[in-house]
Amino acid sequence: MESDNGAFMEKFILEASSSSPHELALKGLTFAVKDIFDLDGYVTGFGNPDWARTHSAATSTAPAVLAVLREGATCIGKTVMDEMAYSINGENKHYGTPKNPCAPDRVPGGSSSGSAVAVAAMLVDFSLGTDTGGSVRVPASFCGILGFRPSHGVVSTTGVIPMAQSFDTVGWFARDAEILNRVGRVLLQLPIVEPVKPSHIIIPEDCFQLLSIPSDRVTTVLVKSVEKLFGGHIIKSANLGDYVKDNVPTLKHFMVKGHENQEYNVASLVALSSALRQLQRHEFKNNHGEWVSTVKPDLGPGISERVWEAVRSTDENIDVCTSVKTELRAAFTALLGDFGILAIPTTPGPPPKLQTEPTTLETFRVGAFSLLAVAGVSGFCQVSIPLGTYDNLPVEVSMLAKHGSDGFLLNLVETLYETLKKQIEITQEQSGLELNKLPLFSRIMELQSDGLGSEASKMFNWERERERERMEVRARAPGKIILAGEHAVVHRSTAVAASIDLYTYVSLSFPTHSDNDDKLKLHFKDMDLEFSWPVGRIKAALSKVGSNDSSSPKSCSPETIKLIATLVEEHNIPEANITLAAGVSAFLWLYTSIQGYKPAKVVITSELPLSSGLASSSALCVSLCAALLALSDSNELDLVNKWAFEGEKIIHGKPSGIDNTVSTYGNMIKFRSGELTRLRSNMPLKMLITNTKIGRNTKALVASVSERTFRHPIAMASVFKAVDSISNEVATIIQSPAHDDIAITEKEDKLEELMEMNQGLLQCMGVSHASIETVLRTTLKFKLASKLTGAGGGGCVLTLLPTLLSGTVVDKVIAELEACGFQCLIAGIGGKGVQICFDSLS
Ligand SMILES: Nc1ncnc2c1ncn2[C@@H]1O[C@H](COP(=O)(O)OP(=O)(O)OP(=O)(O)O)[C@@H](O)[C@H]1O
Ligand SMILES: C[C@@](O)(CCO)CC(=O)[O-]
């Protein structure tokens, strides 16, 4: 199954003999078909071996397949699909999961998984799939290609195993917008016509808020491209959820009480998807209930549950589902007219990891289906369009048009696609150094996904070695503030943190052969401290440690720490800088674990004050790991984060992982027991950060809180529980909408109160300090609330600067704090995480 990315069930060549006098529209193109289409003489497998075993070969070929064959395209095989088309994941336990060329550790999306992968891996020019609830749109978006779901009923589904007829469509995939359009014209039997300019493009904010990545990463590209081609005046914003709620009265039968105000869902769209799923279950049962009950097929996890749920479903609300369909189609027809476009995200985020638990996938599915149901229930046509990558994972946007406006939509994609691609490049360049936005990374991606197999990887390694010699890799990672929950987070309470726009920078370069240098050199530029070891010396000292595997982060054992300490002690670190020894040890562990024993030069500088609560140690570990992993096969952010955590352990003792996680991913997060939730901040937060300049050691402070917990377990459990509630409340406030100054002020007042409460509890933990109390007293004089941030014991203090606070007051507070000898800075919070770039040295 591994060859051809595991996309095919079976390969063969199928061509139609044609003596047509006209030029064939698809001549010279190859394609593949999902194993749900009948091909004369072949058993149609429906993704499941029990199905294949109990059905005989088809006696004719589905008209949709015949149509493309007759226009000169060559079919090269049938593709793997999800069992009975009852999944959007793309994992098939019987035939293997087709490998997603865009993200090999992620699912390819289903149910037309193999068809999408065959196109994405460039094994064919286009492919056919089917889409009932999302089975073309989802795999297209997960594999970074174009996917088209036509208006319901316009392409023949004869000779295609039905799933749920009210929603079943034949869809297709391509990498090229012109080919997508050409295939569409054949299937839709449409003549070639001039493109028509869209009358308006609606970008509903509520739908883009469902995205787990920053929504402007998607909307900016779209808006800029539309502005360039058609003018910005055609862009309209809207709230789709409200529009649907107000215009589809029957939907009330599917609205779940209490869901109206759910933060991450658009309640009326969730209701739409409930209606769709209900009717889908009903029709699936009519189609396959008897077969399932008799054969009791062996079905994969998640799919089995859904199939049996459908088979056992009762026929409630079926008429109401049909009314919802009719009302929604009328409402959207009024909204879009003949040439209006609705733009929404295809799915709420990047493809989930392979083998994610079905229960963990549920939140993703709820979000995905509420977006997918828009075209599903209205029967409108939809195209999913790739928009490059974010964090190395594919990003897509969808455009929908009125039922029957398929030709218009296909022309529009073709017109828009080149401009979109240029805009993606501009946006990615402007966002600077981001991990996945780099020439070398895109070259690596290309080489891995071009299907050249081992030849490609040989070339790739050789190329990489040469690149390595000429390259300087630079990385930077931000520091962080903790808004609520420090220390308690080590004891499994919730904390809320954000990145700040102060960074640690790492530069990594490897000597060329002609340099004849065999040393590993580390330069802390700010303190002008240099370390260097012959790599043979490091190898000899660490010979017992075993071989390195950069793709699986491991902890440094106490024995290895001792061995590393001998290497550190060979350099006499001045007494004033002795705390740097821990940073040097972490460096040696991370470097040797990821790069082995190779000579190199690493230079580190930082804008962050060390040991003051702004996570300088994490910024060091994260930027270092990003640089070290940049040239390896495994360059995922997740891996950077995991290795950085191992470095943190050396400096920190028992870290919770919050610091390295914020430094890696940026933004604002809620964090508990290693689990992170991204927060969508709905308020601009400005913080004054006061550095008391009292140096302290996070490791010692964390240990002191643990000791206090050991002495007073019950009392401290209550303290941690109270902190947990405070953090959760802070997260809710940050995310709740605020439309005017009054609402913002109310939110700020609440946050101030919670900060004061948190500070009180940090005092209970014993981590405040006289210098911190001085800052608190000073800011209180100006009615401003403050709390320590990070480990305490000195370090930094946060003061919330309310939006309506006058600049004069800010100046006065700062003047008074600086008069006490403190350093003040005003921080932008919630920016990007780690970033990386390559420079050529030659
Ligand atoms: N730029 C740097 N250069 C050298 N060493 C560094 C650098 N940044 C951090 N370190 C190492 O990290 C240590 C500081 O880590 P520590 O955890 O005590 O404080 P912090 O990370 O700044 O604060 P907190 O963990 O409370 O947010 C330093 O003593 C040093 O060993
Ligand atoms: C004090 C602490 O909670 C935050 C340090 O920035 C420690 C940790 O979470 O690892």
Domain that holds residue 511: 443-683+832-840
State which of 382, 404, 430 marks the end of a domain.
430
**All residues at 6 or more sequence positions from 20 whose CB lies less than 8 Å from its CB, including other chains:** 70
Distance 777 CA to ligand 1 centre (A): 28
Which of 481, 658, 720 for a ligand 2 pocket mutation test, highest count of atoms within 8 Å of Cβ?
658
Does the beta carbon of 129 lie inside 6 Å of ligand 1?
no
Q: Kindly list the distances between the CA atom of residue 717 and the CA atoms of 325, 360, 754, 761, in Å, as whole numbers in the listed order.
A: 53, 29, 19, 12
Instruction: Answer yes or no: is 31 within a domain.
Output: yes
Same domain, 131 and 11: yes
Q: How many beta carbons lie within 10 A of that of residue 514, not counting itself?
A: 7
Q: What is the ipTM of this complex?
A: 0.97
Distance 648 CA to ligand 1 centre (A): 9
Alpha helices in 736-822 (DSSP H): 741-765, 770-781, 807-819
Instruction: Answer yes or no: is 188 within a domain.
Output: yes
Which of 480, 487, 671, 788 for a ligand 2 pocket mutation test, highest count of atoms within 8 Å of Cβ?
487
Q: Confirm if 282 and 325 have CB atoms less than 8 A apart.
A: no
**All residues at 6 or more sequence positions from 717 whose CB lies less than 8 Å from its CB, including other chains:** none
Please report the atom of ligand 2 found closest to the CA of residue 618. Answer: 6
**Which regions of the chain are under pLDDT 50?**
1, 261, 432-466, 842
Number of domains in the chain: 2
Instruction: Answer yes or no: is 702 within a domain.
Output: no
Which of 482, 608, 663, 762 for a ligand 2 pocket mutation test, highest count of atoms within 8 Å of Cβ?
482
Residue whose CA lies nearest to ligand 1 atom number 11:
583
Whether 135 is a known active-site residue: answer yes
3-state secondary structure of 665: helix
Does the beta carbon of 497 lie inside 6 Å of ligand 1?
no
Distance 489 CA to ligand 2 centre (A): 7
Distance 572 CA to ligand 2 centre (A): 29
Does the beta carbon of 606 lie inside 6 Å of ligand 1?
yes
> Can you point out the beta strands (E) in 346-442?
381-390, 393-401
Can you give the pLDDT at residue 633?
Answer: 61
Same domain, 494 and 551: yes
Query: Residues with beta carbon inside 6 Å of ligand 2?
Result: 482, 486-487, 489-490, 613, 615, 652, 655-656, 658-659, 698, 702, 790-791
Residue whose CA lies nearest to ligand 2 atom number 9:
656
Ligand nearest to the CA of 652: 1
Same domain, 90 and 202: yes
Same domain, 394 and 534: no
Please report the atom of ligand 1 found closest to the CA of residue 479. Answer: 27
Same domain, 397 and 463: no
> Can you point out the beta strands (E) in 663-759?
668-672, 675-678, 687-691
Can you give the pLDDT at residue 693?
Answer: 95
Please report the atom of ligand 1 found closest to the CA of residue 659. Answer: 27
Distance 482 CA to ligand 2 centre (A): 9
Distance 629 CA to ligand 1 centre (A): 21
Which pairs count as long-range contacts for 157-161, CB under 8 Å and 24+ apart, including other chains? 157/64, 157/130, 158/62, 158/63, 159/37, 159/38, 159/58, 159/60, 159/61, 159/62, 159/63, 159/64, 159/65, 160/36, 160/37, 160/38, 160/62, 160/64, 160/130, 161/36, 161/44, 161/46, 161/85
**Could you tell me which of 393, 390, 438 has the C-alpha nearest to residue 627?**
438
Can you give the pLDDT at residue 616?
Answer: 96
Can you give the pLDDT at residue 444?
Answer: 28
Distance CA 645, CA 623 (A): 12
Residue whose CA lies nearest to ligand 1 atom number 21:
615
Ligand nearest to the CA of 621: 1
Instruction: Answer yes or no: is 644 within a domain.
Output: yes
Does the beta carbon of 442 lie inside 6 Å of ligand 1?
no
Task: List the strands of the sheet with 786-789, edge to edge.
Answer: 786-789, 796-800, 687-691, 823-827
**Could you tell me which of 206, 213, 312 has the C-alpha nearest to residue 263?**
206
Residue 749 class from Cβ within 10 Å (0-12 exposed, 13-18 middle, 19+ buried)? middle
Instruction: Answer yes or no: is 205 within a domain.
Output: yes
Same domain, 29 and 139: yes
Same domain, 267 and 292: yes
3-state secondary structure of 208: helix
Please report the atom of ligand 1 found closest to the CA of residue 609. Answer: 22
Q: What is the CA radius of gyration of the chain?
A: 29
Q: What is the dihedral of CA 189, 195, 197, 199, to 10 degrees?
A: -10
Same domain, 107 and 23: yes
- From the list 87, 99, 111, 616, the catalytic residue is 111
Same domain, 453 and 426: no
In the chain, the amino acid numbered 166 is S
Which of 502, 505, 620, 671 for a ligand 1 pocket mutation test, highest count of atoms within 8 Å of Cβ?
620
Same domain, 402 and 536: no
Please report the atom of ligand 2 found closest to the CA of residue 648. Answer: 10
Residue whose CA lies nearest to ligand 2 atom number 5:
790
Residue whose CA lies nearest to ligand 1 atom number 16:
611
Does the beta carbon of 604 lie inside 6 Å of ligand 1?
yes
**Could you tell me which of 414, 393, 400 has the C-alpha nearest to residue 340?**
400
Please report the atom of ligand 1 found closest to the CA of residue 790. Answer: 26
Ligand nearest to the CA of 603: 1
State which of 409, 430, 451 marks the end of a domain.
430
Does the beta carbon of 524 lie inside 6 Å of ligand 1?
yes
Give Dmax (Cα) for the chain: 92
Does the beta carbon of 587 lie inside 6 Å of ligand 1?
no
Distance 503 CA to ligand 1 centre (A): 12
**All residues at 6 or more sequence positions from 831 whose CB lies less than 8 Å from its CB, including other chains:** 478, 499, 500, 501, 666, 667
Distance CA 376, CA 397 (A): 16
Distance 659 CA to ligand 2 centre (A): 7
Domain with residue 510: its CATH number is: 3.30.230.10
Does the beta carbon of 400 lie inside 6 Å of ligand 1?
no
- From the list 87, 113, 135, 370, the catalytic residue is 135
State which of 402, 430, 458 marks the end of a domain.
430
Distance CA 571, CA 652 (A): 22
Please report the atom of ligand 1 found closest to the CA of residue 486. Answer: 26
Same domain, 118 and 267: yes
Please report the atom of ligand 2 found closest to the CA of residue 655. Answer: 10
Distance 723 CA to ligand 2 centre (A): 14
Distance 212 CA to ligand 1 centre (A): 31
Which of 480, 659, 660 for a ligand 2 pocket mutation test, highest count of atoms within 8 Å of Cβ?
659
Q: Tell me: cis bond preceding 111? Omega within 30 of 0 counts.
A: yes
Instruction: Answer yes or no: is 695 within a domain.
Output: no
Distance CA 200, CA 412 (A): 12
Distance 575 CA to ligand 2 centre (A): 26
Distance CA 102, CA 125 (A): 17
Instruction: Answer yes or no: is 195 within a domain.
Output: yes
Q: How many beta carbons lie within 10 A of that of residue 258, not counting itself?
A: 8
Residue whose CA lies nearest to ligand 1 atom number 6:
583
Instruction: Answer yes or no: is 449 within a domain.
Output: yes
Q: What is the dihedral of CA 691, 695, 700, 704, to 10 degrees?
A: -60
Pull the structure tokens for residue 292. Answer: 């399932």
Element (H, E) at 119: helix 113-120
Write the pLDDT tens digit of every residue in 274-311. Answer: 999 999 999 999 999 999 999 999 999 989 999 999 99
Residue whose CA lies nearest to ligand 1 atom number 9:
617
Distance CA 560, CA 531 (A): 19
Ligand nearest to the CA of 696: 1
Distance 456 CA to ligand 2 centre (A): 44
Q: Confirm if 268 and 377 have CB atoms less than 8 A apart.
A: no
Residue 261 class from Cβ within 10 Å (0-12 exposed, 13-18 middle, 19+ buried)? exposed
Please report the atom of ligand 2 found closest to the CA of residue 792. Answer: 1
Residue whose CA lies nearest to ligand 2 atom number 10:
655
Write the pLDDT tens digit of every residue in 762-807. Answer: 999 999 999 999 999 999 999 999 999 999 999 999 999 998 899 8
Same domain, 220 and 319: yes
Distance 120 CA to ligand 2 centre (A): 43
Distance CA 246, CA 156 (A): 34
Domain with residue 174: its CATH number is: 3.90.1300.10
Pull the structure tokens for residue 195. Answer: 């493109």
Q: How many residues does the chain have?
A: 842
